Amino acid sequence: MTKPTVPAYASTPANYGARRGTVPAEAFRGALVVAVRPDSPAYDAGIEPGMYISHVNDQSLTDMIVWLWEADEDEVELTVFDPSDDTSTPCVLERFPGEDWGLTFNDAIFDEMRTCVNACVFCFMRMLPKESRDTLTIRDDDYRLSFLQGNFVTLTNMSDSDVEEVIDKFLSPMNVSIHAVSPDVRRSLIGRNAGRGIEVLERLMDAGIEIHAQIVLCPGLNDGDELDRTLRYCEAHPSITSLGIVPLGFTKHQDRFASSYSDDWRAARAVVEQVRPFQERAFERFGRHTFQMSDEFYLAARLDPPQADFYDGYPQFYDGIGMIRSYLDDTDAVLADAARVRRTGDALRSLGLRLVVISGEAARDTVARFVESPELSGEARAIKNYYFGGNVNVTGLICACDILDQLETDLGRVMLILPEVMFNADGLTLDGYHREHLLTLLEERGARALCSSTAPQELLSFIEGDLGL
């Protein structure tokens, strides 16, 4: 995998289990078509947005895996359901080699989402404020999303036929939460189905499926000797090509946890040291470090993150592993063209605008390296997360209420950038504000309020575009 571009510095806790905005399917209709490319095979067949594809080559279209497998040739038979008149119509589509079918679906899963059967003691979904929207409390654990979108799953709810499907279709790689390997520790962490997860994991590895694994490390629960056992297990299974170790995240809406590694730099540093020999041995054997600490560990341990090549191509980038390093490198690359950044800073200054970029507390100093550079002379403003409380400090979980409470009431002559990662696909924050409503509230305080990626390259291009540079 090549180094990813940086969408923003932000991550969510690994124990944040649900996909934002997901709702369970009701009656199965198939895949909802949300867009049809003009002049495509689907367009020529008369398929329109709002229709459903219920079957493909006589298979129920339950998910994108079925679609990818069945619609791989240059001819496909579809059953199209039109809800406007309750009719189902068969049709055959043909395409030129390499042409796409011209269909965009609304999701990756079209039947019922597989929800989790676990009771993880560290589950972020059990630590949400009571008033959280219903969709935030859906706990999905769907192996199909592991393959399709890289969601971490526990494998504890998979039937034997699910396992056979993964093996038959060779759905590789899969992202799997391991957390611990000793049966008693697993059971105390995850619940009574923990054993099934390891059983399935080993079947998948025996079949050659590549695994990207994860540990949510909880002080006093799966650290110390148990962490050693889990690391040795992963070391003994070369199918596990990356293992991300992330610290426990917790909110104030629970009473089990009161501290984590973010409160104890020595403990964080001890874990970094404990993992180091495994990284070194993995590099000697495979040329990759495999065992990766999350950014939060380096921040908590007050250590600089490793250089980019240590991250083995960033296989777990979107889980907060390597984002800081990538952001810092992106900052250096953008600032290498100091004249360009200065031109933007000069344009802001000539308009009397002060740039303020919002971030979570964890990312503030990293974001400041670019935003507060002499050329741009803006401000990276950390928003403390009172809505969730606990040790939640990442940009992706910033809530509108905290922004409104913590920003000054007079924002005149401020260009205020909200990070786009704090909004879901429907434009909602975690506390239910719509992006446009929040921007309007901030504009009423005098700000020029905008929403953008806060990654240096993308942020600079965005501001240039806004200023017409």
How many angstroms separate the CA atoms of 297 and 102, rounded?
Answer: 44
In the complex, minimum distance from the CB of residue 18 to ligand SF4, in angstroms, rounded to a whole number: 7
- Give the list of residues 6+ apart from residue 269 with CB closer than 8 angstroms, or none: 301, 302, 303
Residue among 119 and 148 whose Cβ is closer to ligand SF4 = 119
Q: Which of 468, 463, 434 is nearest to 450 (CA)?
A: 463
- Looking at the Cβ atoms of 193 and 461, the one nearer to ligand SF4 is 193
17 versus 41: smaller Cβ distance to ligand SF4: 17
Give me the least distance between CB of 182 and ligand SF4, in Å please: 18
Distance CA 101, CA 75 (A): 10
Closer residue to ligand SF4 (CB): 103 or 201: 201
Question: Residue 398 CB, nearest distance to ligand SF4 (Å)?
Answer: 21
Which C-beta is closer to ligand SF4: that of 191 or that of 313? 191
Residue among 389, 345, 350, 382 at smallest CA distance from 367: 382
Provide the b/e sequence for 159-190 (b: ≥16 CB within 10 Å).
Answer: eeebbeebbeeebebbbbbbbbbbeebbeebb
Interatomic CA distance for residues 123 and 248, integer angstroms: 9
Shortest Cβ distance from residue 370 to ligand SF4 (Å)?
A: 33
Question: Which of 272, 266, 276 has its CA nearest to residue 295?
Answer: 272
Minimum distance of ligand SF4 from residue 118's CB (angstroms): 4
**Min separation Cβ 197 and ligand SF4, Å:** 9
Q: Which residue is nearest to ligand SF4 (CB)?
A: 17
Q: Which is nearer to ligand SF4, 189 or 335 (CB)?
A: 189
Cβ proximity to ligand SF4, 154 vs 454, nearer residue: 154
User: In terms of residues, how long is the chain?
Assistant: 469
CB of 14 to ligand SF4, least distance (A): 8
Of the candidates 141, 166, 138, 173, the residue with the CA atom closest to the CA atom of residue 156: 141
CB of 126 to ligand SF4, least distance (A): 7
- Which residue lies nearer to ligand SF4 by CB, 127 or 363? 127
Query: In the complex, what is the shortest distance from the CB of residue 193 to ligand SF4, in angstroms, rounded to a whole number?
Result: 10
Query: C-beta of 153: minimal distance to ligand SF4 in Å?
Result: 8
- Judged by the rule CB under 6 A, the positions of this chain that interact with ligand SF4 are 15, 17, 116, 118-120, 123, 125, 139, 141, 154
Closer residue to ligand SF4 (CB): 194 or 240: 194
> Quick one: 120 or 234, whose CB is closer to ligand SF4?
120
